[in-house]
Structure 1
Amino acid sequence: MHSLLRTTLVGSLPKPTWLAEPEVLWAPWKLSGAELAEAQHDALHLAADAQAHAGLDIVVDGEQTRQHFVTTFIEHLGGVDFENRETVRIRDRYDASVPTVVGPVTRERPVFVDAARALRARTDRPVKWALPGPMTMIDTLADRYYHSREELAWEFARILNEEARDLEAAGVDIVQFDEPAFNVFFDDVRNWGVKTLERAAEGLRCETVVHICYGYGIKANTDWKATLGTEWRQYEESFPLLQQSTIDIVSLECHNSHVPVDLIALLAGKKVMVGAIDVATETVETPEEVAATLRRALGFVAPDKLYPSTNCGMAPLPRGVAEAKAAALTEGARIVREELLAGKV
């Protein structure tokens, strides 16, 4: 396998129609019990095979065993009441009904390890597994016990570290932490956000990623992005801190966004996952469009540290569109890889 411009997806892929309602974000499962578990593993295998067919270098689970990228993890923890739900403001943008912390949060058993083993057995390519980051977790629930965002974040960081270590033992090569909240709560990021993220990754031998994006292409997110002006400079708050952190790879949104590409320079020395696929549109990028995004990024990151990726997850997209976008990503990366090897970039 080549070592330059290794391609991967940020996270989710569309679920099969027999598992959940297609093109609906966070759709409920159509099955339950043992039937659901078997169907999720079948979907996991299909996702792995689709990524291999598209030529992706690093395989993800596509969130086939998760209804929601945060709450599916939380619902397996002790101290959280999913019956007693409350409506809270998520990332200062939209309201959602979320579970409530009612006691000390605990992790009594691994959450994703069985699924990770199943994915590891399905592919000989490197495997990347995503977990919610501590700050994004506390922003996606109601707290009636700790009454301190920071204290709860440290508790979640400890639990995430336990899960991440078990995922590493199950054969996962890269653990990704999703932290879209880093683009919103800048004071918390500076004061304890990066520190709790490092705690979640503490002691891991595998590579670690933090993914910070502007969200799925849902109305609440597109409305918010419309207020951000002609340049989205939120990354200026977190990138200098992450450049000094123990996290190995930083994932950012790039294609069709208003993020100035030169902000990548703030991550000097880090590996960078550059979003070269827009997940907020069903229009499939051409390989040349992908290549153009990667060429711009190469002005600020070395070729051996650039990982072409998607801006965010693709769960709400039609399955065929997601597969075509994945293929465009790999073909665009191939174009630039050949240019690099020929000394043309």
Structure 2
Amino acid sequence: MNPILPTSTVGSLPKPSWLAQPETLWAPWKLQGDELIEGKQDALRIATKEQRDRGIDIVSDGEQTRQHFVTTFIEHLDGVDFSRRETVRIRNRYDASVPTVVGPVSRSKPVFAEDAACLRQQTDQPIKWALPGPMTMIDTLYDGHYKSREKLAWEFATILNQEARDLQAAGIDIIQFDEPAFNVYFDEMRDWGVATLERAAEGLRAETAVHICYGYGIKANTDWKASLGSEWRQYEESFPLLQQSTIDIVSLESHNSNVPTDLIELLRGKKVMLGAIDVANQTIETPDEVADTLRNALRFVDADKLLPSTNCGMAPFPREVALAKLSALSAGTGIVREELSGTPS
């Protein structure tokens, strides 16, 4: 049985240096062919053990088998040409060279099901797998075929639903859709973004989560955060819609952010995966700092619906920093569990 306040990570963990260049997003693989397949699964096993050793209750793959949380999924789809590159503005923050949609998009076979089955073999604990959300997928491509962000998002939502059903069959307990685009494109989110997200999650028995953050701790994101002022109220746009949606869990950034904690009240009734670990700063949180973040949140979410987590992925961190942060997350959560139960954690 899961403890109260089950801990989790949101996304990526640093990869071993023998697999990919450390502290680098989109780091190229250092292995090839069968060695790469074996190396990825070895890294997945290591990441699973490292999470368990540090008291993480809901274990993920740490994205060890993926170069990037969006493009690795898209690489396996038909209708996208990675040799035809265009420069686009990603989430209105930075320019990037991206692949081009050249025809109808489809998925000829499962993308992550084998890796998910490998993760399932490593632990009896609940396991979570992250997929990119439809809006964030279309924001990471140049559309040379549909000429409609909405139409392409609906196509991706159908493909994501197919993939999510395969992940569920492989034993995944929680399927998370990453939608940082929800913090930027408010009109599209209201018009069709939440609807396409619900389509991606349609008919699943597994719990579903949506992760909306302010991005990895890279300069383009930290510069954007610095421009947002003393209160970050972007969640005010999405939370009321998500509270009414079919999605089970909403994941948000909190610790060391300027997000007003009382915005969590807008999600009343939903489970909340709360970011209590900063991914834009290598300073290791103390257990007391984590506990304070959780206590503040508990004014607006019931304890049985709170899942302490990280703000975002930690791929750009040194491994020892990421692992120390996981230990802090567990220790801080333990303090609050003890306060809630009156018994030692």
Q: Same fold (TM over 0.5)?
A: yes
CA distance in 2, matches of 1:222, 1:155: 32
Q: State the distance in 2 between where 1:179 and 1:293 align.
A: 23
- 1:332 corresponding residue in structure 2: 332
- Is 2:31 aligned against 1:66? no
Q: Distance in 2 between matches of 1:70 and 1:32?
A: 21
Query: Partner residue of 1:295?
Result: 295
Q: In 1, distance between residues paired with 2:216 and 2:124?
A: 30
Cα shift at 1:3: 3.0
Question: Is the counterpart of residue 151 in structure 1 residue 169 in structure 2?
Answer: no
Q: 1:106-142: CA deviations, max 9, x gaps? A: 1000000000000000111100000000000000010
Letter in 1 for 2:49: D
1:212-255 residue CA offsets vs partner (Å, 9 max, x unmatched): 00001101001111110000000000000000000000000000
In the other structure, the counterpart of 2:259 is: 259
**Alignment of structure 1 residues 112-131 onto 2, 5 Å:** 112-131=112-131
Which consecutive aligned stretches of 4+ in structure 1 deviate over 6 angstroms post-superposition? none
Matches within 5 A, 1:34-113: 34-113=34-113
Q: Which residue of 2 aligns with 1:221?
A: 221
Q: Which runs of no fewer than 5 residues in structure 2 stay unpaired?
A: none
* AA aligned opposite 1:160: L
TM-score (structure 1 length as normaliser): 0.99
Deviations 1:57-83 (A, max 9, x none): 000010001001000000000000011
Partner of 2:209: 209
Aligned residue type for 1:141: L
CA offsets 1:313-335 (integer angstroms, 9 cap, x no match): 00000000000000100110010
Aligned to 1:19: 19
Residues 3 and 304, structure 1, Cα contact 8 Å, conserved in 2: no
The answer (yes or no) to whether the contact 1:59–1:127 under 8 Å persists in 2 is yes
> What SS does the corresponding residue of 2:53 show, helix, strand or coil?
helix
Identity across aligned pairs (percent)? 74
The SS at the match of 1:237 is helix
CA contact (8 A) 1:101 1:141 kept: yes
Q: 1:341: how far off?
A: 0.6
The alpha-carbon deviation at position 2 of structure 1 amounts to 4.1
Report the TM-score when normalising by structure 2. Answer: 0.99
Name structure 1 gaps, 5 residues minimum.
Answer: none
Matches within 5 A, 1:143-182: 143-182=143-182
Residues 215 and 312 in structure 1, CA contact (< 8 A), matched pair in contact too:
yes
